[in-house]
A and B are shown apart, each in its own frame.
Chain A
């Protein structure tokens, strides 16, 4: 099959990895076709934050991804870790059985991907988190260092309009943030003060939410509901930043509702075409000189494994059995309590203040792998009367109504996010029994929280409780975390970067080992998860970096040369 005449590169997946790669290619003259299985959302009509029933749902997901993955049985729970069980003063334990529960991989399909529901955190990785194998014998090293990624971080931050503090001691920076930090919310100020009382250093978080108008987008008005979809466009989701700019170049076409089902591997170590099905059930094939896979750390390994044929008998890129291995989920903990004073904690930006003190790989005594803490009231979705009525105030009747009025706006939450180190019991494979609506095997998630991870979670939980107490809040009324519940948005690995094909899937350029024209640009590349950093900015920086490598390959023709 000859490549489609008007396209140089097809990008599969329109999240931050696919979107940034498409933008960086299009701006340099490359013709791109950007596909996504989900729809294109119209913020003005699809998002509901102006309606009285705004709180009745989360992000208005029109193409839920839940029918494309399953969970393998997760681990038994142990009494010695009972303090890590998720619970609520009203509903009791979230997981009533004695085995960890696979709940959700929170993944949005659509133009913008999971940035459509992200909180807008825009973090660079801790430089030392990229060299865990060299320094600590854990995980794997990135095949390039922080300095090698920084120019691409800068490009992503500039295009998005990332805000951050004037003095950010958490990461080395060659230039200031493009926009000044948002002042902390009234509730966030309480956590800043609490952290200082505990001897911690808290600061404004770096966020993809504008503090000043930028590129035709308005400044944020602090409604706190980034996770339900930003109707204004001040949040820097991929649809209103990278993809909008890519389209404006005139060299990027975007096709929503196009679900790629398999790659067609050829005899010459090239991907000859891809097969797709659209929302009307129409099937077709597309081809281009180069294919970029950017479907996320669950669906990217799935698509590689689904694409087995005579030329890729164990799946594309899986000659050494590495596809799906080294998968990492999110280690997270959230504690919520009531403050005696009105805080108006439903206002402001999510995660507006952050503590990086424990983020370095050796920052927690006796453990490898860091974590960080942040204001988490919006993350806990304690933003409106429905959640207060259901989760904060026990009981019912007139007294419940009165207490609800008194307590609204007083919830204070602290969230902790920690490093997840890869282990042999955490990986993605194809479900041998369950299939999607088109008869294709689901991606099956295996995940195991090992002893060091439990100890890291224990540190995170205890510190969250200390922070609430130092802030003057009462005892927690609700706590939840990763120990007994898989409920993660950030997942990593499964097609990791590396120099050695025996231990990785993709080389330092983002190209799949042994395949001349197949690249990956999403979180499945991560050799390590970082110590609690949100990954979208790193994914975008990787996408821009990979676009440079692709452009070079297109110019030099290396994608067409026979394999040496």
Chain B
């Protein structure tokens, strides 16, 4: 039995959501629509840009949006408590503000290096701040969804489903198994 289990769900809540309850609800009263609706429409290009910054295409694997990860992420958010959607909305608005301040353009129109710098600024913010919590949560969610696609596993031997085959040559070095 896992004595101190660190499952995906536990880890998500330990690292991403443990302090989400402190989000000032009053800030959201100004939104006439639900956060999820805003994410699905007005901020969808920003979300796609964020996901492709975290998970760009490379020689072996596709970009996040090639796998329709934005749709999956929104579906996942719909299953979670509303505070997750609120955090995502708040974080994307923060990215938009940084994009306009630095480059006078929408976040979705920035180049990869410019997007990366803004997300890095979020990650470097104090751990309990909204931008830091946003990028932690988005990163965790994006990786969780992306690496559930077989297309994402090219070049990573043995990373597919563990059953039905198992690993009968588990005692040998991986290159020989």
B61:A57 contact, CB within 8 angstroms: no
B159:A385 contact, CB within 8 angstroms: yes
A332:B3 contact, CB within 8 angstroms: yes
B168:A221 contact, CB within 8 angstroms: yes
Residues on A with C-beta less than 8 A from B164 are 50, 231
Residues on B with C-beta less than 8 A from A53 are 148
Considering the chains assembled together, what is the distance between the CA atoms of A88 and B136 in angstroms? 13
Nearest CB in chain A: distance from B19 CB, A: 7
A347:B160 contact, CB within 8 angstroms: no
> In chain B between 141 and 177, which residues have their CB closer than 8 angstroms to a CB of chain A?
143-144, 146-150, 152-153, 155-168, 170-175, 177
B5:A487 contact, CB within 8 angstroms: yes
A52:B150 contact, CB within 8 angstroms: yes
Q: Closest residue of chain A to B19, judged by CB?
A: A96
B4:A221 contact, CB within 8 angstroms: no
- Segment at the B interface, from A125-133, A195-203, A390-398, A462-470: A390-398
B163:A417 contact, CB within 8 angstroms: no
With an 8 A cutoff between CB atoms, is A36 at the interface?
no
Of B2, B147, B155, which is within 8 A of A489 by CB? B2
Considering the chains assembled together, what is the distance between the CA atoms of A232 and B164 in angstroms? 9
A222:B166 contact, CB within 8 angstroms: yes
With an 8 A cutoff between CB atoms, is B125 at the interface?
no
User: Contact mask B5-23 → A, CB, 8 Å, 1/0?
Assistant: 1111111001100110000
B165:A221 contact, CB within 8 angstroms: yes
Residues on A with C-beta less than 8 A from B158 are 344, 346-347, 408-409
Residues on A with C-beta less than 8 A from B7 are 57-58, 227, 381
> In chain A between 302 and 332, which residues have their CB closer than 8 angstroms to a CB of chain B?
330, 332
Nearest CB in chain B: distance from A303 CB, A: 22
Classify chain B: how many residues form its interface, as a range.
Answer: 35 or more
Binding site secondary structure of chain A: loop
A489:B163 contact, CB within 8 angstroms: no
A119:B2 contact, CB within 8 angstroms: yes
B2:A106 contact, CB within 8 angstroms: yes
Nearest CB in chain B: distance from A114 CB, A: 6
Q: Closest residue of chain A to B173, judged by CB?
A: A186
A408:B167 contact, CB within 8 angstroms: no
Residues on B with C-beta less than 8 A from A536 are 1
With an 8 A cutoff between CB atoms, is B106 at the interface?
no
Considering the chains assembled together, what is the distance between the CA atoms of A381 and B2 in angstroms? 9
A231:B15 contact, CB within 8 angstroms: no
Residues on B with C-beta less than 8 A from A386 are 8, 143-144, 147-148
A415:B147 contact, CB within 8 angstroms: no
Residues on B with C-beta less than 8 A from A51 are 161
B3:A55 contact, CB within 8 angstroms: no
- A-B CB contact pairs (8 Å), 6 listed: A50-B163, A54-B163, A94-B15, A227-B2, A348-B167, A384-B159
Chain B positions within 8 Å of A, measured between CB atoms, are 1-11, 14-15, 18-19, 53-56, 58, 60-61, 116, 119, 127-128, 136, 139-140, 143-144, 146-150, 152-153, 155-168, 170-175, 177
